[in-house]
Amino acid sequence: MLKKRYSLMLIVVLMLVTILSGCQPAADGGDGDGNGDDVKEFVYAVVDDPATFDLDTTSWHQTQAIVSFDSLVEIDTEGNVSPKLAESWEISDDGLEWTFNLRQGIMFHCNEEEFTAHAVKHKFDHMKNPDKPSVNAHMISAIDDVVVVDDYTVKFMFNSVDGAIWNTLGGSFFAIDCPSCREEHGEDYGMNPCGTGPWILDDYVPGSHVTYVANTEYWGGADYWDNNGPPKFDKLTFRIIPDEATRILELQQGTVDYAAVPPQETKRLQDETDINVILSPSNGLRYWGFNMKKWPWTNKNVRIAMQYAIDKEAITESALEGLAKPLWSALPPSIPGYSEELEAEFKAKYPYDPAKTKEVLENDGWALNADGVYEKDGKPLAVSMWVLNEGIQIRTAEIIESNLKDVGVDLDIQVMEQATLTSGSPKGLHESLLWTYGWYDPQILFFLFNNGGTRMHYIDETVQRLAEEGHQKVSMEERLPIYEELQRYLADNPSWVVLYFPQDIHGFSPRVENVRMNPFGGGFVLNDIELK
Amino acid sequence: MSTNIEAGSQQQLKPKSFASTAWREFKKNKGAIVGLSLVIFFVFVAIFAPLLAPHDPENMNQEFRLQGPSRHFVFGTDEHGRDILSRIIYGSRISISVGFVAVFIAGIGGITLGLVAGYWNKADSFIMRIIDVLMSFPFLLLAIGIVSILGPSLVNTMIAVGLGSIPGYARVTRSAVLKVREEEFIEATRALGFSDRRIIMRHILPNITAPIIVMCTLSLGSSILGAAALSFLGLGAKPPEPEWGFMLFSARSYINSAWWYSLFPGLAIMLMVLGFNMLGDGLRDALDPRLQNIK
Amino acid sequence: MSYTYIIRRILATIPVLLGVSLLVFLMLHAIPGDPVRLIVGEFAPQETVDAITRQLGLDRPLHVQFFNFLSNAVRGDLGRSLITNRDITQEIVNRFPLTFKIAVLAVLLQIIIGLGLGIMAALNHRKILDNVAMIGALLGVSMPSFWLALLLMLVFGVGLKWLPISGYFGFKSLILPAVTLGLLTGARIARMTRSSVLEVLNQDFVRTARAKGLKERIVIYKHVLKNALIPIVTLVGMSFGSLLGGAIITETVFALPGIAQLAINGINRRDFPMVQGVVLVIAVSFTLCNLLVDVVYSVLDPRIRYE
């Protein structure tokens, strides 16, 4: 009996030994106070793991997955195209042949291959590989072929004019991989990326962090960057912290140098801490979208009535703490195509006016029933709305529900997970949804409504035609009038209620200097950052 | 030690005096009285919510949002300016109903399974296999799965929590039945030719009632916690309903600026669960014949 | 405790594991939504969706998918994540040590708190110590775990700054999560210990031992504890087994890359093979723990027979 007690104690001791022996700090970058003695480390808090470093196999291109790559060009802070891997370009008169002159003397991280036109063609071929096309192949559907003219000259052959292709060529969707490394690693390339970018992947511990070390041989990056050389600090660590409150706490404590700040923490961080809070206009808007295939949205009067029903200011003041602005246009100020005049026009057309909502409904034949809900042909005006299970969305939804109750509409809020939302709405399972879009170019309207789109199923000839024509011109000047017409048409024939456009709120620790925001590139220019 | 050898007649006498002994024991137990009072208090609050709540729980006042406790809003306001005290009061209805329905579902399923498993040996290992399967499944994962399949609503939360609790009920019932079989010489009565139905109804059920009542009361607490956990993760809640766990989900966004928002709903959950737990303890102490002998 | 018994028990777990795999498979495919849209993004055309669906093998009939999973799992191959294409077995292995360490720490705490409080309460039955201990334990089992986690984080991480708020920085990071888990289950164990000890204390053979004049201490340690421990061993074993499956809420709030996060992320992203693999591993750990518990059970009480 005693023996058995001792054997129990032995087990306990063994367990203790296991723990203590196994408890070394996590590898690399786990120290958290950001300052090894002379190693300058920038700690960037992110919400989740990178999906993969093979950018062709996913549409999720988070910052933590893409910093080891470069693109041919980049959109600068004014919205203009800035040379990057491509020094210059010529576009044929008919807009169907784009010739790029590439920068010379750039090596991939593996140091075994030089960046040349072959790498560009390889990327294109890989994306369009008929056996296993890239998930993002539709972004370059306008490009038929890429021809290598010589080592540093490459020609893109288009099947139709696409003036919006700059956003694809200027971002991660056409990031250039090292061809030989791709061939070598095959399926495992997703864990062994090789690009030309300013950062080289050093360590990735799933669920914990992604660490990059500076590419000391970096060729310089986009023209518009202030710092056209290697990064000014040595290590870039992305810490994966799923919980929002935890991220902010770490930012305050200085164990993290950058985190996106939710609106409700902004004032407090600005007033009570030394965190440098920077606001920049977000590149999208939030909307309440109707599934046009379902009742009651087939009735245009109902849709028009809803335009007067929502108190957008209450939403931006409350759910967004005043850090967003109500919006009426189909494009937000941060996307070309937006105009103050158009916005003023739409705002005057659809002010917040619950009485008007009731008037439009009643003129359409609706009458209030015993429950205070409008009814027509025996059917009460009761609709459901899919909402993502996230704080801001839910708060917005609650305000909308309250607004609608005031005008005799019964709204049923259905809080859903992202996966259910994203796969269910293309199938049209919803009645309406609270959603967002984000992009840098008015082509977003094409993505949104092409063939009805995956969110609102809005099939309309005019919308389709205008949305397509919008990017079938090379220069932005030629495209803008088309988008103006489209916005007007959407205001008169809405499939949604545009709600607001938010601001991105960035929190930097005080030791971070030279912060330069770029609303067109998603965030700030990482290469310009310096650490005190 | 129970020495009740004779089935039948003495069984009739026992329940009556048993119940009054139990009640006497219960009254002596201070904790049990506190628990009972807490439960009665919350039930009272739930029933008379419209009379007790100082404000309309869904009434938004954007000018008063995120204010701390004051005379006007005793527990402060939330991000929409709604009175937290009123929302907690109305929320008690939701918590109690979720608890009871979940326990009901778990009870029906679990007790039946446990009874069958305990009484018929042939079914025993098959049923226990199924129970093992359910128990090897992490409860929250199972609940998340069920809510994801059925869709977000309070009813589905009740179902999810209820289904997830079935294994516990089945096990307790089964061991209680097994114990009764041992002590009450059930085998003998079976051999004598008594029908299964009679044995179950008159011999087994009365004797397993006690542990089952205790289990139900205690599991009310854990069901409420389970449902709150689901809402805290953002599932199963139905805004703008004032469900306590969901209030904590919303409160998380304001943890640094509105401590009252995180404190009071959490306290409410704890107190209600505490009440059921103390009540359950009291019932267990009172109903367990062996403990009655302890000085 | 025969070897044949152990072998038979292990064999008996196979249908359970099969059942768990089947249950999670059916559940996953019953949940609306699939990973394809998440992978390809909102604006990809239907052709891309179809192509990726084919590529991932999601268009094959359900029973074929399930059978493939099983036949691979038996050989130790849990497949690759649909989202990241990384080997699932490797992912689980990577995260297991962290979850294991927290589980061990938490269980140790549970035992210390649980047994300590419980025995003390039982020996001081109906006196002040008993009441205080049991009120504490009652509060423990009534408290929502996420609430406790937030409170601990605020006090020790933000206020006193003794411990890291989140992330995995070695041993320090395990303390708050382990305390959260240990306190709450420790409270439950304390209650159970107290009633179990009380029950045994009251049994005839204890009175006999006392009557024989044996020293109180021997009575307690040799006879009472050994018998009282039986239900507690079960509880601790089951707790350990379920902690090996990770603790969802603690891992989320403290940002710890454990197994539960793998499962939750997997469900959120509809990463079917990932969830299948993780749940299978969890079930295996849990079943093994149960077996261990039964072994310890029989060591403690030779009266128990196994048919």
- Summarize pLDDT for C168-206 with one digit per residue, the tens: 767 888 898 999 999 988 998 998 888 888 777 777 666
- C128 Cα to chain A: minimum distance (Å): 31
Amino acid C158: pLDDT: 67
pLDDT at C238: 80
- Cα dihedral across residues A57, A61, A67, A69: positive or negative: positive
Going by pLDDT thresholds of 50, 70 and 90, the confidence category of residue A25 is very low
Neighbouring chains to B with at least 3 Cβ pairs closer than 8 Å: A, C
Whether B65 and A318 lie within 8 Å, measured CB to CB:
yes
Is residue B17 pLDDT above 90, yes or no? Answer: no
Does residue C222 form part of some domain?
yes
Q: Residue A454: list chain C partners with CB under 8 A.
A: 42-43
- Please name which of B48, B23, B47, B49 lies closest in space to residue B36, comparing C-alpha atoms: B23
Q: What does the pLDDT average to over C119-138?
A: 85
Q: Do A413 and B239 touch (CB under 8 A)?
A: yes
Mean pLDDT of chain B: 83
| B13 assigned to some structural domain | no
- C38 chain-A contacts, CB cut-off 8 A: 60, 418-419, 422-423
| Rounded CA separation A304/A361 (Å) | 9
* Residue B188: per-residue pLDDT: 75
**C-chain residue closest to B143, CA distance:** C27
Buried b / exposed e across C121-149, counting CB within 10 Å, b at 16+?
A: bbbeeeeeebeebbebbbbbbbbbbbbbb
Q: Is the pLDDT of residue A29 over 70?
A: no
CA–CA separation, A191 and A54 (whole Å): 7
Query: Could you give the count of Cα atoms lying within 13 Å of A194 in the half-sphere of its Cβ?
Result: 22
C-alpha distances in Å from residue B20, one per residue of A133, B187, C271: 77, 30, 57
Q: Min CA distance, C74 vs chain A (Å)?
A: 23
Among the ranges given (A423-432, B95-104, B228-237), the one the predictor scored with the smallest mean pLDDT: B228-237
Contact A253 C270 (CB under 8 A): no
Name the percent of chain A lying above pLDDT 90. 74
Window from B77-91, B191-205, C258-272 with minimum mean pLDDT: B191-205
Domain assignment of residue B202, given as a range: 19-50+65-294
CA distance A5 to C226: 9
The encoded tokens of residue C202 equal: 């009251």
Looking at residue C221, which CATH number applies to its domain? 1.10.3720.10
Chain B residue at shortest CA distance from A313 = B62
- Does the pLDDT value for residue A445 go beyond 60? yes
Across B8-32, average pLDDT: 65
pLDDT at position A6, please?
46
Instruction: Please tell me whether residue A382 adopts helix, strand or coil conformation.
Output: strand
Tell me the pLDDT tens digit for each residue of A226-272. 999 999 999 999 999 887 878 888 898 888 999 999 999 999 999 98
Mutate to test the interface with B, among A246, A250, A264 (most CBs of B within 10 A): A264
Q: Looking at beta carbons, which residues of chain B come within 8 Å of C15?
A: 129
**Residue C73: its pLDDT value, please?**
87
For residue B93, tell me if it sits in a domain.
Answer: yes
Place of tokens 């009655």: B292
Range in A160-174, A188-202, C76-90, C210-224 with the lowest mean pLDDT: C210-224
The answer to whether B250 contacts chain A (CB < 8 Å) is yes
Q: Which of residues 31-60 of C touch A (CB under 8 A)?
A: 31-45, 48-49, 51-52, 55
Closest CA to C107 of C243, C228, C201, C271: C243
Of residues C130 and A411, which shows the higher confidence score?
A411
Q: Residue A203: CA atoms inside 13 Å, Cβ hemisphere, count?
A: 13
Cβ-defined contact of B62 to A317 (cutoff 8 Å): yes
Min Cα distance A85 → chain B (Å) is 42
Residue C34 to residue A419, Cβ atoms within 8 A: yes
Cross-chain Cβ contact A419/C270 below 8 Å: yes
- Name chain A's partners: 3 or more CB pairs within 8 A: B, C
Contact A244 B237 (CB under 8 A): no
Q: How many domains does chain C have?
A: 1
CB distance C38–A31 less than 8 Å? Answer: no
Please state the ipTM of this predicted complex.
0.81
Q: At residue B249, does pLDDT exceed 90?
A: no
Question: Most distant CA pair in chain C: distance in Å?
Answer: 86
Q: Range with the lowest mean pLDDT among A48-62, B247-261, C54-68, C147-161?
A: C147-161
Residues of chain C neighbouring B245 (CB-CB closer than 8 A):
144
Q: Is the CB of A468 inside 8 Å of chain C's CB atoms?
A: no
Assess contact for A198 and A215: CB atoms under 8 A: yes
pLDDT in tens, B150-165: 888 888 989 999 998 8
- Mean pLDDT over A36-47 rounds to 85
Q: Rounded to an integer, what distance in angstroms lies between the CA atom of residue B194 and that of residue B132?
A: 32
Please name the residue that has the structure tokens 């201490």. C217
Note the pLDDT of residue B176.
Answer: 84
Work out the pLDDT band at B294, boundaries 50, 70, 90. very low
Give chain C's mean pLDDT.
Answer: 83
Q: Which residues of B touch C17 (CB under 8 A)?
A: 136
* pLDDT above 60 (res B15): no
Check residue A373 and report its DSSP letter: -
Please tell me which residue of chain C has the smallest CA distance to B275: C142
Q: What residues of chain C lie within 8 A of the CB of B232, using their CB?
A: 144, 146, 249
Residue B240 has its nearest CB partner, among A319, A401, A416, at: A401
Q: Per mean pLDDT, which range of B126-130, B195-199, B210-214 is the poorest?
A: B195-199
Q: What is the CATH number of the domain that holds B166?
A: 1.10.3720.10
Backbone angles phi, psi at A58, to 5 degrees: -155, 160
- Asked which of A13-22, A187-196, B96-105 is least confident by mean pLDDT, the reply is A13-22
pLDDT at C213 over 80: no
Q: Is the pLDDT of residue C216 over 80?
A: no
Q: What is the mean pLDDT of residues C28-33?
A: 87
User: Measured between CB atoms, does C31 come within 8 Å of chain B?
Assistant: yes
Q: Is the pLDDT of residue B2 over 50?
A: no
Q: Has residue C95 been placed in a domain?
A: yes
Q: ∠A106-A112-A118 over CA atoms, to 5°?
A: 60
User: Residues of C with CB below 8 A from B146's CB?
Assistant: 27
Instruction: Give the mean pLDDT of A39-46.
Output: 94
How does residue A90 score in pLDDT terms, banded at 50, 70 and 90?
very high
Q: What is the pLDDT of residue C201?
A: 75
The pTM for the full model equals 0.86
Return all residues near B150 (Cβ < 8 A) that are at least 6 apart.
B156, B159, B160
CB contact under 8 A, A245 and B238: no
User: pLDDT higher for B62 or A353?
Assistant: A353
- Report the largest interatomic distance among the alpha carbons of chain A, rounded to a whole angstrom: 94
Q: At what angle do helices A476-492 and A340-349 cross, to 10 degrees?
A: 0
Residue A352 has pLDDT above 70, yes or no: yes
Q: Which residues share a beta bridge with A367?
A: A375
Distance, CA of A370 to CA of A109 (rounded, Å)? 71
* Residue B236, in any domain of the structure: yes
Rounded to whole angstroms, how far apart are CA atoms A68 and B234? 35
pLDDT band at residue A301, thresholds of 50, 70 and 90?
Answer: very high
> What average pLDDT does this structure show over A193-212?
92
Q: Which residue has the tokens 């009901």?
A: B104
**Is the CB of B80 less than 8 angstroms away from the CB of A391?**
no
Domain of residue C216 covers 88-300
What does the alpha-carbon distance between residue B27 and residue B267 come to, in Å, rounded to a whole number? 27
Q: Does B76 fall in a domain?
A: yes
**CB pair distance less than 8 Å for A208 and C257:** yes
Contacts of A319 in chain B (CB under 8 A): 79
Residue of A nearest to C298 (CA): A4
Number of domains into which chain B is organized = 1
CB contact under 8 A, B256 and A390: no
The minimal CB distance from B152 to the residues A264, A317, A416 is found for A416
Instruction: Tell whether C47 is covered by a domain.
Output: no
d(CA C150, CA B37): 29
- Cis ω on the peptide bond leading into residue A230 (within 30° of 0)? no
Nearest to B133 among C23, C142, C202 (CB): C23
Predicted local distance difference test score (pLDDT) of residue C275: 92
Assign A18 a pLDDT band (cuts: 50, 70, 90): low
Q: Is the pLDDT score of A14 beyond 70? A: no
Among chain B residues, CA nearest to C16: B133
Helical spans, DSSP H, in chain B: 9-28, 30-47, 49-52, 84-119, 121-136, 139-150, 154-183, 186-191, 196-199, 205-232, 244-252, 259-287
Residues of C in contact with A426 (CB under 8 A): 37, 49
Q: What is the pLDDT at residue C264?
A: 85
* Model pLDDT, residue A131: 85
User: Residue A101: in which H helix or E strand, if any?
Assistant: strand A97-102
Q: What is the pLDDT of residues A106-129, one digit of tens each?
A: 999 998 899 999 999 999 999 999
